[in-house]
Structure 1
């Protein structure tokens, strides 16, 4: 599969799914992974809602670099279709909050109004801005990958 085909598949994965696994770390580097419902704005910006007291929200406040994986959990084992992303995340405020809520609430599957996501409401809006997209190289063989010279699963950078 060529890089353009892999990128097209990556876009389809992001288009067809609604949950991402968000990986964060606290100040000590202890990891935490959370499934969150996301609303994309293109393929490099993702919005979600969370309690500011949730572990991932507290982690983002001290370490904004995050990892994200989007995949179809119903796929057959071994199909390895996922998009892996490195990103920077933040809680939205000011004009960014207005824009984020406009995008998120247009597609969200519930009817909470924007007041639920502003202080003193119980939730906040967050955004991840992707810096890198990766997918697993589709070369499956005991022979080394002709392009990457690896026999194990390995990620390749893609531009979505």
Structure 2
């Protein structure tokens, strides 16, 4: 499978998946997985998501910012399912970054203008001392399901995709 098809599949996943699952670990070693709506940014590959500061994953990120995650799209046929896994580092956005990425995030997670008007939090509600924040995941590794080998031997494998190919929008 050529790199172009891996990049194309990756972009399709990034554009079509509505949610990602992010895994964190507490300081006590307890794992947690959270399903989150997201917006993605290229150059380098990053994800934006919003969450309450008292959520379990937000508390985990504050002390252990290394995360992993996955996203997938499903179709009607078995081979129409596709997915990716990733690892990276997560952090709260700064005041300046909230101003820069606020519209990008809400445009992606609320594509309908009426829903966006009803549910979008103002930037001030995403900054201290408010209870919500916007977060950024900086992806450092990206893998896709290796659909070619699965079709041959039914063994579930992953193939790593170069982030350089995903750096352009």
Within the candidate set 103, 122, 144, 1:113 is matched to 122
The normalised TM-score by structure 2 is: 0.80
Quick check: 117-126 or 91-100, which moved more? 91-100
Please show how residues 12-51 of structure 1 align to structure 2 within 5 Å. 12-42=12-42, 44-51=45-52
- CA distance in 2 between counterparts of 1:107 and 1:21 reads 17
Aligned with 1:105: secondary structure? Answer: helix
- CA distance in 2 between counterparts of 1:108 and 1:137 reads 28
Please show how residues 59-98 of structure 1 align to structure 2 within 5 Å. 59-73=60-74, 76-77=77-78, 79-98=80-99
Q: RMSD between aligned alpha carbons?
A: 2.0
- CA distance in 2 between counterparts of 1:104 and 1:10 reads 19
- CA distance in 1 between counterparts of 2:142 and 2:124 reads 33
- Higher fraction of helix: 2
Q: CA deviation at 1:73?
A: 4.8
Consecutive unaligned residues in structure 2, runs of 5 or more: 111-118
- CA distance in 1 between counterparts of 2:71 and 2:159 reads 15
Q: CA deviation at 1:96?
A: 2.5
Consecutive unaligned residues in structure 1, runs of 5 or more: 143-150
- CA distance in 1 between counterparts of 2:69 and 2:76 reads 18
